[in-house]
């Protein structure tokens, strides 16, 4: 009887630890939130490839903008659909849960910014996303999409 209790206890610990490790990752799907209106804008997938972090638009949530194109973008992205577009490009791990050294694209104005992202230390279901021009910056909070 005692042996079964120890097994059950250890199994419970293992489940809690593995769930906590999953919740601590920046990888996965995030709901982008407009920092001015507070309205959801899109679903973005953050993924790793070759040791770098990238983010791709999966779905636009704003009514009437579902088929938006990047009209103000330049080069190969000009007039391309925003859905499927890579907007976070080449971030690298700088510290425990902080990634920077790459760029983020704002498809609404076609501009690229230096970027830094990190999990909110108080809530791992919130991703802080900061875009920089010189010493000016803007930070948004994105919400983890729970499946």
Cα 99 from Cα 35, distance rounded (Å): 20
Evaluate whether residue 3 is within a structural domain: no
pLDDT at 34: 87
Could you tell me the CATH number of the domain that includes residue 47?
Answer: 2.40.128.520
Burial environment of residue 140 by CB neighbours within 10 A (0 to 12, 13 to 18, 19 or more) = middle
Does 18 map to a domain? Answer: no
Scanning the structure block, which residue is given the tokens 């050294």? 101
Residue 127 lies in a domain: yes
Phi, psi of 98 (to 5 degrees): -120, 135
- Distance, in Å, from the CA atom of 131 to the CA atom of 87, rounded to the nearest integer, reads 12
pLDDT (tens place) for every residue of the chain, 147 residues total: 554 544 444 444 444 444 444 458 999 999 999 878 889 999 999 999 999 999 999 999 999 999 999 999 999 999 999 999 999 999 999 888 899 999 999 999 999 999 999 999 999 999 999 999 999 999 999 999 987
- DSSP summary character for residue 80: -
pLDDT, position 96 = 80
List the domain range (segments joined by +) for residue 92. 26-144
- Is 113 inside any structural domain? yes
Classify residue 17: in a domain, yes or no: no
Q: How many angstroms separate the CA atoms of 3 and 33, rounded?
A: 49
Domain count, the chain: 1
The answer to the question of residue 54 being in a domain is yes
């Amino acid at each position: 009887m005692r042996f079964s209790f120890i097994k059950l206890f250890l199994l419970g610990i293992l489940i809690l630890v593995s769930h906590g490790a999953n919740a601590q990752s920046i990888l996965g799907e995030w709901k982008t939130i407009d920092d001015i209106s507070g309205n959801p804008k899109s679903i973005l997938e953050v993924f790793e490839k070759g040791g770098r972090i990238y983010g791709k638009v999966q779905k636009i949530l704003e009514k009437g903008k579902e088929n938006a194109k990047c009209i103000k973008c330049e080069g190969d992205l000009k007039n391309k659909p925003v859905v499927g577009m890579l907007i976070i490009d080449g971030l690298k791990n700088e510290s425990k849960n902080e990634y920077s050294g790459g760029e983020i694209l704002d498809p609404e104005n076609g501009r690229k910014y230096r970027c830094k992202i990190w999990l909110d230390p108080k809530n791992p279901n919130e991703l802080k996303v900061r875009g920089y021009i010189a010493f000016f910056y803007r930070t948004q909070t994105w919400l983890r999409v729970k499946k």
